[in-house]
């Protein structure tokens, strides 16, 4: 239940920080600090930097392994590669121009490690949020430069609320001192891993396994958003009402990316218009249920693995 609570807090913070609720942005920020920092443990500043980049260049590869101009949500090498170019991107950092053994291993088996990696997603996000809010590091060079130039918008509230989050979680996880340290740690990390899976499943269904683009051949903005995004529908025994609640509005991911400040209760109406517009202009609009969508993601990862291994054998036939 705690993991599910954190997931739903994420959707509320997402709504407020996209300024879908209040006309005055500061009110949205205040609500975002409550649901994000205090209730969920995610720094608003860290999230805005990462999420704004994602919306601007969805599923766009960085121009090089060292650049920061791609979608941060697919900056997952060497754990996961979303295209052959992505899988080979770290070669430029090696003196011999070859993939390391760990990269070859991870990409080869990424279709099997995908869901276990999702379990650890929240722990990684908590770590990066803590570093950002307390000014002791940044998740990327892009974030480092932004925080250096602008600082935190709420330099007192951000760290204070994040520390308060960890305090109430510590008290809850040990049942106010009644549970042992080992049991408390197991309880907390089980909830954290479960929440990470629930959050990342929705994120993953939204974009993973969809087309990726290089900067020089990306389409215009609206086509980029539509073609890189997958809507989520009911199916395989999962009713639409459950999908609507579980995904927190992101079942209409296409519409959200086109109109990020639109309140979630209007997305279904917008969906009808966007669908007809895409048909008129011959642009692929994709939707899948939660079972088929996850199958597509895993099949895509397996396909990238196959292409990666095939190319490696061609380039280094003695291996």
Dump pLDDT digits (tens) for 140-192.
777 888 888 888 899 999 999 999 999 999 999 999 999 999 999 999 999 99
Q: What is the mean pLDDT of residues 9-18?
A: 96
102 class by beta-carbon count within 10 Å (0-12 exposed, 13-18 middle, 19+ buried): exposed
Dump pLDDT digits (tens) for 117-152.
999 999 999 999 999 998 888 777 778 888 888 888
Dump pLDDT digits (tens) for 17-75.
999 999 999 999 999 999 999 999 999 999 999 999 999 999 998 887 777 788 999 98
125 class by beta-carbon count within 10 Å (0-12 exposed, 13-18 middle, 19+ buried): buried
Contacts of 208 (CB under 8 A, 6+ apart): 74, 82, 297, 300
Radius of gyration of the chain (CA): 20
In sign, the C-alpha dihedral spanning 293, 297, 299, 303 is positive
Please give the C-alpha separations between residue 125 and each of 49, 138, 200, 295, in angstroms, as whole numbers: 13, 11, 11, 25
pLDDT of 217 reads 84
Please give the C-alpha separations between residue 247 and each of 36, 128, 130, 173, 202, in angstroms, as whole numbers: 17, 23, 25, 26, 6
Give the span between the Cα atoms of 183 and 202, in whole angstroms: 29
Dump pLDDT digits (tens) for 217-248.
888 999 999 999 999 999 999 999 999 999 99
């Amino acid at each position: 239940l705690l993991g599910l609570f954190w997931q739903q807090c994420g959707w509320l913070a997402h709504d407020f920080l996209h300024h879908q609720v209040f006309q005055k942005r500061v009110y949205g920020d205040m609500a975002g600090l409550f649901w994000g920092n205090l209730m969920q443990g995610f720094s608003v500043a860290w999230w805005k930097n990462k999420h704004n980049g994602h919306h601007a260049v969805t599923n766009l590869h960085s121009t090089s392994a060292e650049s920061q101009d791609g979608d941060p949500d697919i900056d997952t090498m060497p754990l996961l590669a979303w295209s052959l170019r992505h899988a080979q991107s770290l070669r430029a950092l090696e003196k011999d121009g070859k993939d390391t053994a760990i990269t070859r291993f991870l990409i080869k088996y990424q279709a099997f490690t995908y869901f276990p990696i999702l379990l650890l997603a929240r722990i990684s996000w908590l770590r990066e949020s803590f570093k950002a809010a307390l000014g002791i590091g940044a998740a990327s060079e892009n974030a480092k430069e932004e925080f250096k130039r602008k600082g935190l918008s709420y330099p007192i509230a951000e760290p204070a609320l994040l520390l308060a989050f960890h305090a109430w979680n510590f008290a809850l996880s040990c049942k106010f001192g009644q549970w042992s340290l080992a049991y408390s740690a197991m309880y907390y990390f089980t909830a954290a891993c479960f929440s990470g899976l629930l959050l990342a499943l929705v994120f993953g269904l939204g974009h993973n396994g969809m087309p990726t683009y290089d900067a020089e051949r990306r389409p215009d903005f609206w086509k980029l958003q539509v073609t890189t995004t997958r809507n989520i529908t009911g199916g395989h025994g999962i009713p639409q009402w459950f999908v609507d609640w579980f995904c927190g509005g992101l079942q209409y991911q296409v519409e959200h990316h086109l109109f990020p400040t639109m309140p979630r209760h209007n997305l279904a109406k917008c969906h009808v218009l966007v669908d007809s517009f895409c048909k008129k202009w011959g642009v692929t609009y994709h939707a899948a249920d939660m079972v088929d969508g996850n199958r597509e993601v895993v099949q895509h990862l397996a396909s990238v693995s196959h292409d990666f291994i095939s190319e490696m054998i061609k380039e280094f036939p003695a291996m």
